[in-house]
Structure 1
């Protein structure tokens, strides 16, 4: 496999190749919004983001950021080597239902305990996700949940040829 060629960040940008492994949890006060079924179903300035080498940030919103009735438990589970066992959530907005479109860590590992119960959303399964008003691009590949904005550069894990990164 050829070596990865990180995109050099411009002023005001972050390179995902400067993010740590194992990943780091940090508080963010950026304005996050999620839209589904023509309705804004989540809105907060009090979230966390997880930063991991080669991944765009994954944002975790407090449950209180979601409108009443939006979150419902979904079947299935998985385990992250860094964060622990995940719980999946179905989202409802307007007439739309997005099954297993979100996840949380109800009892995460000690390094991530501050985000216990906070909920991340796959941007590609919502109508739209925004960071400070900017519509995000979903992390490629469908497995990971990072949100790509103009202030983060890759290349990003998840697309073709990135399995061994």
Structure 2
């Protein structure tokens, strides 16, 4: 099963980026690792936490792909949020925090995937932002008693500094299989 990444629902097929399950998890690991290292503001941390949830062990096989427009962007902060995600992608290409994974990422594979994803993020514009996506996503945390994740932004003790999501650490989930 392949996962499809695109800017928005009506993106032409030739502008979509497809990866298998393991590949999707690996390139997203690279972004989440770099993003956990770089995130300073509440919004930056929220964007990385959202990305941590895009994992085969959480979403299921073939369900990790997403529209960039589905990310929890804000209209007012869009330019800085987009710039942050692009910085995360560039930092991931330098292998920032890749050594925290149990097994290494293969640079020759992951870098082109990061570049493809970066091109999609670069195409994202504020006109595609739907703040209902953000509000819906934020509502999940209090509903399941995990609002502290968005208040305290806990990190994994084992994977020093890795932001955790509703389901814990992304890398710990992988290790458990």
Do both proteins adopt the same fold according to a TM-score greater than 0.5, normalized to the shorter chain? no
Higher helix share: 2
Which of the five TM-score ranges fits, normalised by the shorter chain?
A: under 0.3
Return the structure number with greater strand share: 1
- The TM-score, its normalising length taken from structure 1, stands at 0.27
| TM-score normalized with structure 2 length | 0.26
